[in-house]
Structure 1
Amino acid sequence: MKLRIGPGALVAAAFIGPGTVTACTLAGANFGYALIWALVFATLATIILQDMAARLGVGAKLGLGEALMRNTSNPMLKMASAILVFAALAIGNAAYEAGNLSGGALGLQAILGPSGPDRSIILLCIALIAGGLLLYGKYKLLERILVGLVLVMSAAFLIAACIVKPDISQFASGLIPRIPDGGTLTAIALIGTTIVPYNLFLHAATARERWGPNGDIQAARSDTILSVGLGGLVSILILTTAAASMFKSGLGISSAADLARSIEPVFGAGAKYLIGIGLFGAGLTSAITAPLATAYVITEIWPTSDDAQKKRIFRITALSVLLIGVLFSLTSISPISLILIAQTANGLLLPIIASFLLVIMNKKSLLGAHTNTLKTNIAGGLVVIITLGLGLRGIARAFSIDI
């Protein structure tokens, strides 16, 4: 079978954003190799969940939001589900969008240096670019350009990880699940930056359009495994590079220039430009996909069949998420803190969205032969339980409750 790359590449491009660079760098710098297991788990979990989303789009020709509405008969339960999904995406994507814009701004600040424009001006320029592309851009061309920018950053970290020569024994010990003191929220952030809840909606919607019925289920699965697997590998390389070059170094991280310092011994003075371009490209990619995914799901759950009205709802939703992201990103919160908060929010929201997906994927009337197998249900259930446990532990630690 000829391998065809499809929506899986879009999903990978969406989660290899500035949040990934920041969360993985912070994890490596603060905890060394101890949290590599979290990225391995997150990558496998992402493949499991995104495969379900792709099968929903290909097998049932439905988006996740649309499937939830069609398969909830009780009016009160349907309304509650719609409100919960809307709230989850509104909260998660607003925080995530702010992190995306902040990450893109960090990248440009690293390139332009201290003599460049003020951060707020850079943020507004990025938002205008994203807004223009959301309204008028040709998505296929846009996708190719932005994925190309992310691949440049990916290649940089692959080279960096090889040259800094990580400690293999410590790397191997990091594959054993454990959470170091103070590392709970970082572990949740690593999972949240990889298993992005909105990608489940985005993948189902785009797979419905990209792949043909039934016969392309295997093609969609291969695309998911390859694309998400490579994305997870990039995340591991970023953490490994930071662990090998920054752990116990005492370097503080508050800007893209600080992130670049972790690989400056490898790339020299050009590191800030390399990381800056990568962060800007990744930030712009994610700044577009987050509003797109929210627009898809709101359009799917909105009670109307009028195509013109759906288009208006789609545009209004996408631009609203972008605007909220701009407002949050213009606050006095540190950009690095904002990105980490966004990833943590995603990690806490994930069990809710994944539980919805599991229920839908067991509807034989909807998917027929493409429903979940027992093995898939067990794997998906374990993902929900583990992410729920981590989320509850993070909330408890935030309120100083020891669990």
Structure 2
Amino acid sequence: MPAGIQVSDLGQVALPVVSTLGKVGLIVVIVGFFAATFGAALEAGLAASYSVTQYFGRRWGKSLPPVQAPYFHLVIMVSLLSGTLFILTGVDPVTVTEYSLVFSAAALPLTYLPILVVANDRAYLGERVNSLFTNVLASIYLVVVCVVSVASIPLMVYTKAGQ
């Protein structure tokens, strides 16, 4: 930052390494970029596949061959293909991530409140329900989550998503 340099894309991240280590540094950076991005893509594909196939009651597992778990492997391939096509559109993935985080913050009370209700259901949990102290803390947290939820989208609009 003191030199007035700002990194705006992945290629610029490699410049200091390449200027210091030359061609060897470039090879190391390319292998690192590939490992990080491909690993993240596979992890996202696996997460999507586990979620979808378990939800629909299909056979699942990365150790099963495609013949035994065809839907599991199909969802992985569709996820990877969808991600690749999405990147080819030119949409900035960081912007998409920022918007998705804001919308997940806005939806947080919708996921937190049902858990809090179940945590107090004696018919379901018996003697393992929340204590009074836990409920007080959980209620305070629920208020905080609701405030964040209500403020998240207006703040995103007001700040133009941090730009």
Normalising by structure 2, report the TM-score. 0.60
Determine the C-alpha separation between the residues in 1 that align with 2:139 and 2:127: 15
Counterpart residue number, 2:86: 328
Determine the C-alpha separation between the residues in 2 that align with 1:317 and 1:278: 26
Determine the C-alpha separation between the residues in 1 that align with 2:108 and 2:55: 17
Counterpart residue number, 1:287: 41
Percent same amino acid at aligned positions?
17
1:386–1:297 distance in 2 versus 1, CA, 3 Å: same
The total of aligned residue pairs comes to 144
Determine the C-alpha separation between the residues in 2 that align with 1:380 and 1:291: 32
Counterpart residue number, 1:50: none
User: Which whole-Å deviations, capped at 9, do the CAs of 1:33-56 have from their partners, x for residues lacking one?
Assistant: xxxxxxxxxxxxxxxxxxxxxxxx
Q: Select 1:382's aligned residue among 121, 144, 157.
A: 144
1:318–1:339 distance in 2 versus 1, CA, 3 Å: same
Counterpart residue number, 1:216: none
Counterpart residue number, 1:150: none
Larger RCO, structures 1/2 (Cα 8 Å, 6+ apart): 1
Determine the C-alpha separation between the residues in 1 that align with 2:5 and 2:140: 42
Counterpart residue type for residue 382 of structure 1: V
Matched, 1:268 2:26: no
Instruction: List gaps (5 residues or longer) in structure 1.
Output: 1-246
Q: Kindly report which structure 2 residues correspond to 1:124-273, keeping only aligned pairs within 5 A, or say none.
A: 247=1, 249-261=3-15, 264=17, 268-269=20-21, 272-273=26-27
User: Which whole-Å deviations, capped at 9, do the CAs of 1:153-198 have from their partners, x for residues lacking one?
Assistant: xxxxxxxxxxxxxxxxxxxxxxxxxxxxxxxxxxxxxxxxxxxxxx
Counterpart residue number, 2:101: 347
1:348/1:391 contact within 8 Å kept = yes
Determine helix, strand or coil for the equivalent of 1:251.
coil
Determine the C-alpha separation between the residues in 1 that align with 2:103 and 2:147: 13
User: What's the offset of the Cα at 1:321?
Assistant: 1.9
User: What's the offset of the Cα at 1:301?
Assistant: 3.7
From the CA coordinates, give the structure whose radius of gyration is larger: 2
User: What's the offset of the Cα at 1:287?
Assistant: 0.5
Determine helix, strand or coil for the equivalent of 1:361.
helix
Q: Kindly report which structure 2 residues correspond to 1:71-86, keeping only aligned pairs within 5 A, or say none.
A: none
1:297–1:340 distance in 2 versus 1, CA, 3 Å: same
1:395–1:274 distance in 2 versus 1, CA, 3 Å: farther
Counterpart residue type for residue 259 of structure 1: V
Determine the C-alpha separation between the residues in 2 that align with 1:275 and 1:339: 21
1:351/1:384 contact within 8 Å kept = no
Normalising by structure 1, report the TM-score. 0.29
User: Which whole-Å deviations, capped at 9, do the CAs of 1:214-251 have from their partners, x for residues lacking one?
Assistant: xxxxxxxxxxxxxxxxxxxxxxxxxxxxxxxxx25332
Determine the C-alpha separation between the residues in 1 that align with 2:83 and 2:154: 26
